């Protein structure tokens, strides 16, 4: 029976453990946290978006420059396979109106509990929590720290699944990168992805807005419109529609120190239609009342309009509503990001995600240097990469 050491118990590590046990491997899983799948649980807080139901050809385009690599992995372990896996765990999934796929109760806990139960019931599975990976040498001897004691383990096969570098409190701190660099493995630097952006708002705006959503808007950057929503925060702006532009926005901010995002608060109406509707309002009532009654501009949207266009009035409002110009001056810290770019470069790996410089050692999940938007593409990438490694080990 072949033994595999897995380091990291997020979805990528846990899924490779699950598949390896099914293929009669012995699995030792190490994680430096006191529990498994903490980021997966956090991902379930706002509704766990497991994957996406669009056509695979469209799906794989979301991996940008790594499209062809991900296309081969995702065709092997598809979004439907991921849904079947959830069913194996006793959790039904459904396709939402946006074609995104969610577990029935939207949460991650039930999936995770059932998953861990199955692993623990298998006599070939050993779990070692509170073990921090610190290094691996060229003979594949791994050093872990367990409550200040050094533990050394050696495995013929090792799967690294230690995640990216955001949300440190879930265990994904990116600290593994030092050891990898010492072995000469090339990494791309970690950068926030699917992240928020900074803008300095007035004190009045911060007090009134705090954290408030803007719904059913269109966000435009570099002339690319995306329908979605955003969250105004005391520091700037975040949320789904912003994350969808975050790669381009981030690169622009890194390059020039700033970027301008345009928001259309009423994307279903033309400027002329808005103007006509406003003109039918009683011009004696306040502007906020007129805009609310005419086209449903709520208080949050109105405060935003006043912040950006202090001289907004009945005659110029329609143009402003269609084009709220939000200049951004920074990127929110990496620890707040949904995901991170950067990690082990694909040039360091063969088709089975095996490190060319460390035979028998594999890298999966967010440790890989890839970028994908929210929408289930991150988790699908993690699962499909785990499936690829297991296939490689099983042939």
Residues that bind ligand FAD (CB under 6 A): 7-13, 30-33, 38-40, 42-43, 48-49, 132-133, 161-163, 167, 171-173, 175-176, 338-339, 365-366, 374, 376, 378-379, 382
Segment holding 68, helix H or strand E? helix 67-76
Nearer to ligand FAD, 69 or 167 (CB): 167
- Residue 386 C-beta: closest distance to ligand FAD, Å: 8
Nearer to ligand FAD, 132 or 277 (CB): 132
Query: Where in 222-356 does DSSP place strands (E)?
Result: 224-232, 236-238, 259-264, 324-328, 330-331, 339-344
Chain centre to alpha carbon of residue 264 = 25
Report CA-CA distances (Å) from 374 to 52, 79, 118, 153, 358: 10, 15, 28, 36, 32
Angle at 277 between CA 272 and CA 278, to 5 degrees: 95
From CA 120, how far away is CA 369, in angstroms rounded? 31
β-pair type (100-103, 224-232): unpaired
Query: Where in 330-378 does DSSP place strands (E)?
Result: 330-331, 339-344, 361-363
**Which tokens belong to 348?**
């360091």
- Residue 332 C-beta: closest distance to ligand FAD, Å: 13
From CA 323, how far away is CA 167, in angstroms rounded? 33
Nearer to ligand FAD, 6 or 295 (CB): 6
Length of the chain: 395
- 224, exposed or middle or buried, with CB in 10 Å at 0-12, 13-18, 19+? exposed
**Which tokens belong to 194?**
């699917």
- CB–CB of 277/291 below 8 Å? no
- CB–CB of 131/67 below 8 Å? no
- 158, exposed or middle or buried, with CB in 10 Å at 0-12, 13-18, 19+? buried
Nearer to ligand FAD, 33 or 252 (CB): 33
From CA 195, how far away is CA 246, in angstroms rounded? 6
Looking at the DSSP bridge assignments, the partners of residue 102 are 94
DSSP assignment, residue 354? B
What do you get for the CA distance between the two ends of the chain, in Å? 14
Phi, psi angle pair for 291, to nearest 5° = -70, -35
Nearer to ligand FAD, 11 or 241 (CB): 11
**Which tokens belong to 187?**
């990494």
- 321, exposed or middle or buried, with CB in 10 Å at 0-12, 13-18, 19+? buried
């Amino acid at each position: 029976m072949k033994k595999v050491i897995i380091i990291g118990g997020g979805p990528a590590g846990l899924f490779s453990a699950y598949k390896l046990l099914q293929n009669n491997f012995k699995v030792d899983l190490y994680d430096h946290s006191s529990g498994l799948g903490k980021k997966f649980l956090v991902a379930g807080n706002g509704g766990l978006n497991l994957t996406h139901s669009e056509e695979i050809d469209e799906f794989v385009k979301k991996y940008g420059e790594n499209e062809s690599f991900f296309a081969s992995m995702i065709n092997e372990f598809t979004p439907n396979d991921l849904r079947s896996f959830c069913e194996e765990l006793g959790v039904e999934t459904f396709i939402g109106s946006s074609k995104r796929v969610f577990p029935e109760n939207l949460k991650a806990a039930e999936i995770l509990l059932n998953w861990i139960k199955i692993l623990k019931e298998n006599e070939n599975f050993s779990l070692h929590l509170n073990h921090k990976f610190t290094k691996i040498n060229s003979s594949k001897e791994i050093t872990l720290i367990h409550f200040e004691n050094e533990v050394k383990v050696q495995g013929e096969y090792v799967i690294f699944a230690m995640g990216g570098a955001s949300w440190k409190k879930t265990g994904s701190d990116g600290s593994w990168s030092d050891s990898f660099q010492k072995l000469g493995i090339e990494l791309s630097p970690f950068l926030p992805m699917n992240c928020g952006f900074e803008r300095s708002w007035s004190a009045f705006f911060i007090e009134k807005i705090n954290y408030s959503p803007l719904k059913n808007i269109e966000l435009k950057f570099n002339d690319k419109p995306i329908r979605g929503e955003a969250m105004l925060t005391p520091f700037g702006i975040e949320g789904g529609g912003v994350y969808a532009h975050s790669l381009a926005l981030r690169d622009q901010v890194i390059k020039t120190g700033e970027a301008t995002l345009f928001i259309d608060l009423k994307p279903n109406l033309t400027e002329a239609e808005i103007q006509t509707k406003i003109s039918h309002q009683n011009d004696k009532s306040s502007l906020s009342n007129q805009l609310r009654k005419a086209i449903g501009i709520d208080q949050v949207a109105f405060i935003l309009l006043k912040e950006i266009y202090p001289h907004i009035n009945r005659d110029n409002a329609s143009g402003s509503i269609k084009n709220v110009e939000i200049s951004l001056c920074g990127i929110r810290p990496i620890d707040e990001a949904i995901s991170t770019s950067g990690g082990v470069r694909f040039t360091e790996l063969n088709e089975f995600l095996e490190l060319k410089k460390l035979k028998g050692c594999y890298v999966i999940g967010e440790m890989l240097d890839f970028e994908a938007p929210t929408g289930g593409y991150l988790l699908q990438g993690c699962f499909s990469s785990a499936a690829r490694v297991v296939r490689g080990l099983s042939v």
